[in-house]
Amino acid sequence: MNSISKRIADELGVREQQVNATVGLLDGGATVPFIARYRKEVTGSLDDSQLRLLEERLRYLRELEDRRATILKSIDEQGKLSDELRASIEAADAKNRLEDLYLPFKPKRRTKAQIAREAGLEPLANALFDDPRQEPETLAAGYLNDDGGFPDTKAALEGARYILMERFAEDAELLGRLRDFIWQQAQLKVSVIEGKENEGAKFRDYFDHVEPLRKVPSHRALAILRGRNEGILSYTLAVGDSEENRRQPHPAEPRIAAHWQIRDQGRAADKWLSEVVRWTWRVKLSTQIETDLMSQVREAAETEAINVFAANLKDLLLLAPAGPRPTLGLDPGLRTGVKVAIIDGTGQVTGHGAIFPHAPQNKWDTSIEQLAKWSREYSIELVAIGNGTASRETEKLVADVIKRYPELNLARIVVSESGASIYSASEFASRELPDLDVTIRGAVSIARRLQDPLAEMVKIEPKSIGVGQYQHDVSQVQLARS
C-alpha cells in the first residue's frame, strides 16, 4: 500500500500523507464530491480534479497489485519462479507488461508446440536454433515419432517450428519492442466491406481511409470501431509496403530475427530459421499486436470521450438558473403540435395544452393568441423552448407573440431538451406527474430545467442526457463513474 501511495503522490505532485488520508476516506465509503467539499482539512485541500485522478489511479494500481500477486502465485505453483523472473514481475508498472511476462506460463489449451514437445521434438528445435550449420532434414530423421503424429521429417520439422514460434512469441522484451515499433510506424487502413456501401452510408468518410495509428483522434477511432462492430468497415495496420506485397518481409520480421540473433549466413538451417521468424510474425504476433494496439486506441478514445461527456454534463448542470419565475415550457413538434406546460414560480404545473402552428395544420395566428392568453392568465415571465425538431419555427412563433404583445414582457430562451423524453417515460416522472400524459411531462421538464437546471437534470440518468459522442459505445461502468 505504501508503494501505491508514494507512486500516486509522485504522479500528482502532492505529499504522501495527503494520499494516505484520502485513501482512508475513500476506503471508508466517502465519495469524491463529499471529500472535496467537507474534508479539505484532512486531505490538505486536494481539489476535485486531483481527487478524481487519485481515485482512478488507486483503482488501477490496486488491480495491478492483485494481478501481480495472482501471477506470482501461479508461476510459483508451477515451480518456475526464478529470482530474475520475480524481480521482473515485481518491477512491472503496467498491466500489459505483466501479461507479457506471464504469457509463457499462462495455462493454455494444448497447443501444437506442446504436442510437439510431448513427442520429444524440443531437442530438435534447440539443436537447429543453437547450431544452424546442421542440415534440418538430416537432423529431423532422428526424431520421428509415429505414435505422436510426426511420422516423417517434414512433420518433425513443422513440430520443431511450432516450438520455436511459441518461444519467440512469448518473449516479454520482444513483445514490448514490437508493440512500440508498430505503434510508432503503423498506418491504420480502413475500407468498406464489399456490398455494404449503401447500408453503411453514414460511414462513407471511412470507406477508403488511411492515417497514422498514433494520431487517430478519439471521435474518429470510435466511429471506425462502431463501423467495424456493425459489419460495415474493416481495418488493418500496415507498416511500409509489406501489406501490399505479401512476398516482402514485414518490417517486424528483421526485429524478431535480430532479437533472437538469427542471421542468414548461408548455413544449412538459416533458411528454415528465417521461415520460423516469418511464421512467428504472420501466425502468432501480427494479430495479437494489432488487437493490443487497437485496444489501446479504443481505451484512449473512450477516456477522451468520457472526459468530454463529463465536462459537457458539468457545464449543463451548472447553467445559471433563471429562478422562481412563472414559465411556459414548449416542447416543439410539427405534425403532433407543440406541447405546452404552464409552471408557476415553485415549479408546480398549473396548466397544460397543445397548439398547432406548423404544418400540416398551420394555425399560426390561433397559436399566438393562445400563448398570449396563457401568458396573461398565469403572469408568465419566461418561455422555455426545447431545442429539438421544429425548435426554430417555434422560436419564431414566440418572437411574433412578443412583437404583437410587447406589454407581456416575455423573455424567450431555447434550452436543451436532451433526456426530456427519457424522463417523461420514466418511473420517476410517473410518480411525480401521474395525471399528465407522457408528451406533456416533456414540456414540464423543459420549463423546469430553465428555472433550475441542476434540480431537474439530476432526475435523468447521465448517459441519457446526450451531451457526448458515442456515449453508448464506451465503457458504461467508467461513464457512470465519471
Residue 90 within a domain: yes
Residue 369 within a domain: yes
CATH number of the structural domain spanning residue 439: 3.30.420.140
What's the pLDDT tens digit per position in 120-172?
999 999 999 999 999 999 999 999 999 889 999 999 999 999 999 999 999 99
Return the pLDDT at 230: 93
User: Phi first, then psi: what are they for 411, rounded to 5°?
Assistant: -120, 130
Q: For residue 246, is pLDDT > 70?
A: no
Q: pTM for this structure?
A: 0.73
Return the pLDDT at 13: 93
- Say how far apart CA 162 and CA 276 lie, in whole Å: 8
Q: For residue 243, is pLDDT > 60?
A: no
Question: Out of 8-12, 258-262, 313-317, 334-338, which region has the weakest mean confidence (pLDDT)?
Answer: 313-317
Please say which residue of 105, 137, 170 terminates a domain: 105
Binned at pLDDT 50, 70 and 90, residue 73 comes out as very high
Torsion of CA 359, 360, 362, 367, to 10 degrees: -90
Q: What is the mean pLDDT of the chain?
A: 91
**First-to-last CA distance in the chain?**
25
Residue 30 within a domain: yes
What's the pLDDT tens digit per position in 160-177?
999 999 999 999 999 999
* Mean of pLDDT values over 301-327: 86
* Mean of pLDDT values over 349-371: 95
Return the pLDDT at 475: 73
Residue 173 within a domain: no
- Say how far apart CA 189 and CA 207 lie, in whole Å: 10
Domain count, the chain: 2
Return the pLDDT at 289: 95
Please say which residue of 50, 80, 105 terminates a domain: 105
CATH number of the structural domain spanning residue 58: 1.10.10.650
Q: What is the extent of the structural domain holding 378?
A: 327-451
What is the share, in percent, of the chain residues with pLDDT greater than 90? 75
Please say which residue of 78, 105, 132 terminates a domain: 105
What's the pLDDT tens digit per position in 183-234?
999 999 999 999 999 999 999 999 999 999 999 999 899 999 999 999 999 9
What is the share, in percent, of the chain residues with pLDDT greater than 70? 96
Residue 400 within a domain: yes
Return the pLDDT at 468: 67
Return the pLDDT at 317: 79
CB 451, CB 324: distance < 8 Å: yes
Edge-to-edge strand ranges of the sheet holding 208-212: 208-212, 187-192, 233-238
Q: For residue 247, is pLDDT > 80?
A: no
Smallest CA-to-CA distance from 175 within 237, 259, 76 is with 259
- Say how far apart CA 414 and CA 403 lie, in whole Å: 17
Please give the distance of CA 261 from its chain centroid, rounded to a whole number.
39
Residue 387 within a domain: yes
Residue 419 within a domain: yes
CB 224, CB 265: distance < 8 Å: no
Residue 120 within a domain: no
Look-up of cell digits 501490399: 244
Q: For residue 1, is pLDDT > 60?
A: no
Binned at pLDDT 50, 70 and 90, residue 367 comes out as very high
